Amino acid sequence: MGPINELWEILTLVSVVVIGALVALVALVRGRGGRSTTLPRTPGRAGERRTEGDVLTEEPPAGTEVEDRGGGVAVEPGAGPAAPTLERPESARGRLQRLRARLARSNTAIGNALLALLSRGGLGEEDWEEVEDTLLASDLGVEATEELVASLRRQVAVDGTSDPVQVKQWLHDDLLALVDPSMDRRIAASRTDGLPAVILVVGVNGTGKTTTVGKLARVLVAEDKDVLLGAADTFRAAAADQLQTWGERVGVPAVRSDQEGADPASVAYEATKAGIEMESDVVIVDTAGRLHTKRGLMDELGKIKRVVEKLAPVGEVLLVLDATTGQNGMRQAEEFAREVAITGIVLTKMDGTAKGGIVVNVQRKLGVPVKLIGLGEGPDDLAPFDPEAFVSAIVG
C-alpha cells in the first residue's frame, strides 16, 4: 500500500497546484477587464480606433452598450432616458402689448360706456353723474373719480365739443395721468454686492399667488436671470409640489421642506442660503396665503422677512391681489402694507373683469406701483405692467 499512498499524495498535490493556477489565471483576467469605467472621450468619430495606454481598443459608437466582463453593463453617455426638454419662455418685454386685445376685451365696458356718454353733447348733471357711476363701478376710487370727472367737465366746457375723437383723447390723457407712468415699475432681480436679489411674494388665499411665483420665474428666465424658488408655503401640501413643477419646466431649482407645517421662516432662510451658494441672480420666496385679519399669520410675514435679511436684503415684497375683489382688496392691501413694506403690486384675474380702475386705486392707497398684471391662465400670461398699453386698451 506504500507506493499507492505516495502516488495518491502526488496526484492530490498536482490537483491543488493546477486548481491554484486556474484561480490565479481567472483573477488575473478579471483584474484586467473586470471593472467598467466610462473614460473621457477623445475627439474623433464614433467607431474610431484609439490607444489607451498600451492597449489598442475599438471605440464603439456613442450611445451603445459596452460589455462589462465583470458581469455588469456600462452605458456610454447618451444612452438611457433622454433629459427633459426645458421650456424657453419668450422675452417678457412688450408682452402687455401682445396681450392688449385680451385686456381690451376685459375692460371694454369702461371705455365704451364712457365714450358713449361723453360723446352725446349737451351733457347735463344727470349725464355727469352717470359718468361718475361708471368710473366708480370700475373700482377707480372716489378721489380719482372726482378728479377725472372734474377734468373732463372742464375740457368739454372750454372746447364746447362732443367730437368722439377729441373726447377719447381727453379720456386717454387723463386716465394715463392717473395711472402715473412716472412710477418705477422695474423688478429688483439682480445680484448686489455678491448677493442674490430676494423677492418675497405675499397675499391672501385664492389670489393665484403660487401660480404667480411660477409665472414670475418664467418672466425672469426669459430675461436670462438665474432663478431659485423657495417654497415657504408649508401649510398647503400641494403648494411645494406645484412650485417645484413650475420650476422644473424652465430648469429652476426649488428649495422645500419635506415636512408639512414646517417653519416657513426656516424654509425661506434655507432658500436664500442656497441662492447665495449657487450664485443665483434672484431668489423668489412663496409664502402661505393668509387672511389680513389673522394677526398671528400677519406677524409671521415680518418674521420671514427678518430671518431672510440675516443673509441678504429683501429687495422686493410683491403683494398679489385679485383684481375682482374691489374694495375688499384695498383693505387687504393696506393690512399687508402695515406688516411688511410692500414694494409692488401684482394684479391677477384682469382677463375677466371690467374693473381696471383698481390699478389707480391701489397705487394711491399704498403709494407703490402695479408692477405685474395677470391676463389669463397660460404660463406666459403674466406681463410687466405698461401704463400706456393698459390705458390704450381700456379706452380702445
What are the binding residues for GTP? 203-210, 286-290, 348-351
- Helix, strand, coil % over all residues of the chain, rounded to 5: 50, 15, 35
In the numeric block, the cell 390704450 is attached to 392
Binding site members: 203-210, 286-290, 348-351
Contact by Cβ (8 Å): 42, 62: no
Helix locations, the chain, DSSP H = 2-33, 95-98, 100-118, 125-137, 142-159, 164-179, 209-222, 237-249, 264-277, 295-308, 327-339, 358-366, 387-395
Contact by Cβ (8 Å): 91, 101: no
**CA angle centred on 117, ends 392 and 159, rounded to 5°:** 80
3-class SS at 60? coil
Q: Which three cell numbers stand for residue 105?
A: 376685451
- From the list 186, 108, 101, the residue with the least C-alpha distance to 356 is 108
